[in-house]
Homo-oligomer: A and B are copies of this chain.
Amino acid sequence: MSTERENEHPASRGGAAFLLAQLGAHAAQRFADRVAELDLTPAQAGLLRLLAQAPGHSQRELADMLGMPPSRFVPFADGLQERGLIERRRKPGDRRVHALRLTDEGMELLARLRTVARAHEEDVCQALSPDEHQQLIGLLRRIADQQQLTPGVHVGYRRLR
């Protein structure tokens, strides 16, 4: 047949998966721009959030959660430690592990980070009414649940292969 349906939607832009990838990358980039004003990368911000909600993890576990190899995690954490945002403590029970914790300064920065995140959320969803905003969150969570994604982790810090 000559009239093959090449454009299912005329002047379309792909389905939900492509839109998701595109908007996700764009949102991530905007977030990166915002946290850059706090001298943070998204991964650094992710670690701070992680330490706040689950302190005392080993570096290996944290590296896993952020999706980076332990070898790279070391200089990564070094930077935050030198800035006085986190601290390494030998875990009393197991002196191999360095349990990481937020310092007071780190918690202050985290507070500012939360403000930035709220502004970011508003920015991204500016085009939607409050109802639609909640609707979108509902749909996205359904997908996230079904794909078994860990909450708030692996937010694209890993590279695409």
Which residues of A approach B to under 8 Å, CB–CB?
A: 11-29, 31-32, 36, 41-42, 117, 120-121, 123-128, 132-133, 135-137, 139-147, 149, 151-152, 154-156, 158-161
Which applies to chain A's interface (DSSP): helix, strand, loop or mixed?
A: helix
Whether B19 pairs with A28 at a CB distance below 8 angstroms is: no
A144 to B20, CA, bound (A): 10
18 further A-B pairs in the complex, CB-CB below 8 A; given A17-B121, A18-B152, A19-B144: A12-B151, A13-B141, A13-B152, A16-B125, A16-B133, A16-B136, A17-B31, A17-B125, A18-B117, A22-B149, A22-B154, A23-B24, A23-B149, A24-B24, A25-B156, A29-B160, A32-B161, A41-B160
